Amino acid sequence: MNGADALIETLAFNGVEACFANPGTSEMQFVSSLDRHPGIRPVLCLFEGVATGAADGYGRIAGQPACTLLHLGPGYGNGLANLHNARRAFTAVVNVIGDHATYHRRHDAPLASDIAAIAGANSVWVKSADSADGVGALAAEAIAASLGPPGGPASLILPADCAWSPTNSAPCKAERRAKAQAPSSAVEAAARRIRAAARPVLLLGTGACGEAELRAAGRLAGAGIRVLTDTFIARQRRGAGVFAPDRMMYFGEMALTDLTGVDLMVLVETVAPVAFFAYPDKPSVLVPDGCETLGLAARGEDGAAALEALADALGAPRQAKLQPLRLPERQTGPLTPAAAGAAIARHLPEGAIVSDDSVTSGQAIVNLTRTARPHDWLGLTGGAIGQGIPVAVGAAVAGGGRKVVSLNGDGAAMYTLQGLWTMAREGLDVTTVIFANNAYRILGIELGRTGAGEPGPAAAKLLGLGDPALQWASLAGGLGVPACRCDTAEAFEAAFARAMAQSGPTLIEAALA
Amino acid sequence: MNGADALIETLAFNGVEACFANPGTSEMQFVSSLDRHPGIRPVLCLFEGVATGAADGYGRIAGQPACTLLHLGPGYGNGLANLHNARRAFTAVVNVIGDHATYHRRHDAPLASDIAAIAGANSVWVKSADSADGVGALAAEAIAASLGPPGGPASLILPADCAWSPTNSAPCKAERRAKAQAPSSAVEAAARRIRAAARPVLLLGTGACGEAELRAAGRLAGAGIRVLTDTFIARQRRGAGVFAPDRMMYFGEMALTDLTGVDLMVLVETVAPVAFFAYPDKPSVLVPDGCETLGLAARGEDGAAALEALADALGAPRQAKLQPLRLPERQTGPLTPAAAGAAIARHLPEGAIVSDDSVTSGQAIVNLTRTARPHDWLGLTGGAIGQGIPVAVGAAVAGGGRKVVSLNGDGAAMYTLQGLWTMAREGLDVTTVIFANNAYRILGIELGRTGAGEPGPAAAKLLGLGDPALQWASLAGGLGVPACRCDTAEAFEAAFARAMAQSGPTLIEAALA
């Protein structure tokens, strides 16, 4: 038994069941050890951004961390953007980052770099092993840190000699902490202020959008209090039989218009909302002038219990306000995001998981699926596009047969299209939709909003993807995923219905009108 | 005029002529400013790893920095691996990393992260602007730092308000420093020790493989001194009419066998060689026991002048030992790396640039092209695979019509295949060869070398790419690049000859036997 075995035994002992890997030489002992520990499923990703996004998707669904296996600083770097998203989703992920042997580090070999510095910015915990005997205990620390609450990516640097040296250490148990109870004074204060407020709202953060939290928030909605969520939520239960809060609008001035007159904002596992970006002469903080903010439960505290207590204190009805099942009409004609959204809402099966990286095409789909069959929605928490395909990979591995739908802007999908191959390799039941508008459409909007005016030839060249047009069916086919292209509402409806009725990976290019 | 204009004017004033970009909202002012400054060519890349690798390739060929345009921490992260390679190549690159407006940073918006920490590990210089007035001077600092010598990637963080706020600052001139002269005492000491040594070698680093350095080193070879280069060289002049040093072997024990009996190693713009990775019971430092190491010129010093002075001191012949033009025979039968290498050597045109990321397929090609028509070879300096396609993009933009050949392992090419689209978009004259062995072949070798034994089912799953097999012609077609697949030596010879005879992007899948 060596350090790699000790690491894997501690991972497995604490419920880690999947490893999303893109290994190199320094990780060969870990790879070999996986052969001796069949309880951890090795999933090869052809680019590290797929591995880290998949671990995020896995963690969001499983509520348990997966591990990634990454190759030194550059390997971590390739996976950084989706770990940024995972940090903002508070998803438990354990990164195992192979490094040079401890005694080799001082020689500054070509692949050497400051891994701890690179990983630190998006890790809730980062440490390096320095002996095989110490690896297991560090792995347990990493798992505990990743789980939080609120949790996030933890990064364990594993020098090659700590992996290959012998050890007899036993598996270590990771400490698990439940969410702390919010202070009862916070509940009392919130009840008091809500009673006194003219127009109070509740704002739910990413940790407060599960079934229990929404049920409690839905009671408060039944008492006439408006409930919103942050714009991007790691995992939200939605659809028929679920309470549907509103969403903070993406653009700050629209959000503030939407909040006109609000004089109290009660925060549940979140902080006061801010604009995604700053713009000249537009506000950064999305709290109306004169509106008081008040914390009910902080991140890492039990928002569901606090919401139930608040509902009781306010005498809210026992039964939450729930969405009915109501499916949109079948659409015909040009393929717009709304037409695609109608087809998706109509055919999304019960229990589906939606991985959303659809940027400008997404809003119509979000609206149309509010009354679809019950499903989970995984949002772009950190704003780093290229999440949709990888998160779908991990969600499918964790989902135990649940249908996964991945919604992607064409620009966003290009970042991590390699994930399609992993879907093919693993036979994952994922339907990937690419909304092809042949542009970074959002940037055309943002150019004007930042005061940069209309695009000239140089700017147009940096915002357009149409020359040459990406051929998504060809790309998917090259990666082993069957695909089709649809350019009418009817064709998309048929293709999406077919994809929902069968199993296995498939891709639909929605060529938007 | 705003801060973005000031930045671009300073860039252009100092010879920056290309911007490899993957912008987001925070970079819109820079994008818009490019419309007002047509001297800088905007090149859109659909993934940041393409943009940074392209800037590396551009810098290696132009000897001037290109700039990248990256979107906050995640955008830099996506480009990190190829900046790691650029750091190891000492390539001048100026990263412009957009950030939130200065006053927006404290709100910790979703895309916020510690950019300076993430960028620091692979930057020779990293600073953030804090006003529009200061941007030009910082850009000049960044350019100067990137040029060194020895140089490397410099990272300028540009908050959005520093880009959009007005300024009247004039373009700033970047200080340029020539390589320092190596001390004459070092030349004298080297001459003295070489005369006394039984088996001296010269080791040339990545900055010492240009025409002037090789001419001088070739004189010393004519005097009977063995000359080697580091294993991976940023840019090496090769082929007929050029002196051909040997190369440090990749595997440490082979390198030490190759150096048996060497009692003096004279270092030119490099340091004592070390193994790429550590392995159990194998050496880290690749200097034979009892061998003395001696610096002739440090990195950033003028190796060419020092070599000429050394050659004079040793009375070496005036004329260097040069390679003849000698092309291999036409091959037939199964398509092996050697058969492909023969075809490449036979048809590589004079002045071609080769971007090499071919991993296990590369050694035969390196050997066979030693006597090909003169060309430049761009190696994988930092060991982070996924460089071959992006570096070819930048080399073609810088090359002014020179034919570029990109050699890639199939596993390596999958990291940054998005670069093919930029080749199509820009009409770049790049022939991309994919050596398809359907495996991370190198890892099959390394598994044994690290003592991890034979692969079982889990390990085999993490080393093999064949299930499903990647369809490169389909992938290239999806990105707008015409492609073919060859599985015999004859077919590859014909396809490669055709590619060399025509212009524009094309891809050849070499399906290896």
pLDDT tens digits along A34-79: 999 999 999 999 999 999 999 999 999 999 999 999 999 999 999 9
CA-based radius of gyration for chain B: 23
Answer whether residue A405 shows pLDDT above 90.
yes
CB A303 within 8 A of CB A296: yes
- For every residue of B61-85, DSSP letters joined together read HHSS-EEEEEEHHHHHHHHHHHHHH
Do A276 and B114 lie within an 8 Å CB cutoff?
no
Q: Which residue of A has its CA nearest to B110?
A: A382
Do A414 and B418 lie within an 8 Å CB cutoff?
yes
* Residues facing residue A44 across a β-bridge: A21
pLDDT category of residue A448 using cuts at 50, 70 and 90: confident
Which token pair is B386? Answer: 């996924």
Cβ within 8 Å of B, A 373-402? 381-384, 386
Q: Tell me which residue in B275, B278, B443 faces A161 most closely, judged by beta carbons.
A: B278
pLDDT category of residue B453 using cuts at 50, 70 and 90: confident
Answer whether residue A501 shows pLDDT above 90.
yes
Could you tell me which residue, B320 or B43, shows the higher pLDDT?
B43
**Rounded average pLDDT over A108-133:** 98
What pLDDT is attached to residue B450? 85
CA of B315 to nearest chain A CA: how many angstroms apart?
Answer: 35
What pLDDT is attached to residue B402? 98
Helix (H) or strand (E) holding B477: helix B472-478
Q: What is the pLDDT of residues B219-245, one digit of tens each?
A: 999 999 999 999 999 999 999 999 999
What pLDDT is attached to residue B454? 87
CA of A449 to nearest chain B CA: how many angstroms apart?
Answer: 9
Q: Tell me which residue in A21, A25, A447 faces B32 most closely, judged by beta carbons.
A: A447
- Which chain B residues contact residue A414 at CB under 8 A? 46-47, 418, 421
Do B74 and A84 lie within an 8 Å CB cutoff?
yes
What pLDDT is attached to residue B77? 98
Q: What is the pLDDT of residues A261-290, one digit of tens each?
A: 999 999 999 999 999 999 998 999 999 999
Do A461 and B42 lie within an 8 Å CB cutoff?
yes
d(CA B508, CA B502): 14
Cβ neighbors of A224 (< 8 A, separation 6 or more) are: none
CA of B428 to nearest chain A CA: how many angstroms apart?
Answer: 13
| Residue B305 at interface with chain A, using a CB cutoff of 8 Å | no
Distance from the Cα of residue A274 to its chain's centroid: 19
pLDDT category of residue B449 using cuts at 50, 70 and 90: confident
Sheet of strand A93-99: strand arrangement: A41-44, A18-21, A66-71, A93-99, A153-159, A125-128
**Rounded average pLDDT over A443-449:** 89
| Residue B466 at interface with chain A, using a CB cutoff of 8 Å | no
Answer whether residue A492 shows pLDDT above 90.
yes
- For every residue of B28-61, DSSP letters joined together read HHHHHHHHH-TTSEEEE-SSHHHHHHHHHHHHHH
The helices-and-strands tally (H runs, E runs) of chain A is 20, 18
- For every residue of A154-204, DSSP letters joined together read EEEEEEHHHHHSB--PPP-PPP--PPBPPPHHHHHHHHHHHHH-SSEEEEE
To which residue do tokens 């891994």 refer? A115
* Residue A241 DSSP code: T
**Rounded average pLDDT over A191-214:** 97
What average pLDDT is seen over chain B? 97
Q: Tell me which residue in A451, A474, A477 faces B164 most closely, judged by beta carbons.
A: A451
| Residue A504 at interface with chain B, using a CB cutoff of 8 Å | no
pLDDT category of residue A232 using cuts at 50, 70 and 90: very high
Do B462 and A38 lie within an 8 Å CB cutoff?
no
Percent of residues, chain B, with pLDDT higher than 70: 100
pLDDT category of residue A417 using cuts at 50, 70 and 90: very high
| Residue B90 at interface with chain A, using a CB cutoff of 8 Å | no
Q: Which residue type, as a one-letter code, is found at position B235?
A: R
**Rounded average pLDDT over B313-327:** 95
This model of the complex carries an ipTM of 0.98
Answer whether residue B360 shows pLDDT above 90.
no
d(CA A427, CA B57): 38
Cβ within 8 Å of B, A 5-34? 21, 23-26, 28-29, 31-32, 34
- Which residue, among A20, A29, A35, A108, would best test binding to B if mutated, counting the most B CBs under 10 Å from its CB? A35
| Residue B275 at interface with chain A, using a CB cutoff of 8 Å | yes
Q: What is the pLDDT of residues A164-189, one digit of tens each?
A: 999 999 999 999 999 999 999 999 99
What average pLDDT is seen over chain A? 97
* Residue B409 DSSP code: E
- Which residue, among A277, A279, A418, would best test binding to B if mutated, counting the most B CBs under 10 Å from its CB? A277
- Which chain A residues contact residue B277 at CB under 8 A? 25-26, 100, 104, 109, 111, 160
CA of B250 to nearest chain A CA: how many angstroms apart?
Answer: 12
d(CA A42, CA A34): 7
Do A447 and B113 lie within an 8 Å CB cutoff?
no
Do A278 and B104 lie within an 8 Å CB cutoff?
yes
**Rounded average pLDDT over A299-317:** 98
pLDDT category of residue A452 using cuts at 50, 70 and 90: confident
| Residue A477 at interface with chain B, using a CB cutoff of 8 Å | yes
Helix (H) or strand (E) holding B457: helix B457-463
Q: What is the pLDDT of residues B173-231, one digit of tens each?
A: 999 999 999 999 999 999 999 999 999 999 999 999 999 999 999 999 999 999 999 99
Cβ within 8 Å of A, B 478-497? 478-480
**Rounded average pLDDT over A306-310:** 98
**Rounded average pLDDT over B252-273:** 97
CA of A377 to nearest chain B CA: how many angstroms apart?
Answer: 18
Percent of residues, chain A, with pLDDT higher than 90: 96
Answer whether residue A360 shows pLDDT above 90.
no
- Which chain A residues contact residue B47 at CB under 8 A? 386, 414-415
To which residue do tokens 């709202």 refer? A201
Cβ neighbors of A352 (< 8 A, separation 6 or more) are: A373, A375, A376, A402, A403, A404, A405
- Which residue, among B72, B80, B286, would best test binding to A if mutated, counting the most A CBs under 10 Å from its CB? B80
Q: Which residue type, as a one-letter code, is found at position A441?
A: R
What pLDDT is attached to residue B451? 84
CA-based radius of gyration for chain A: 23
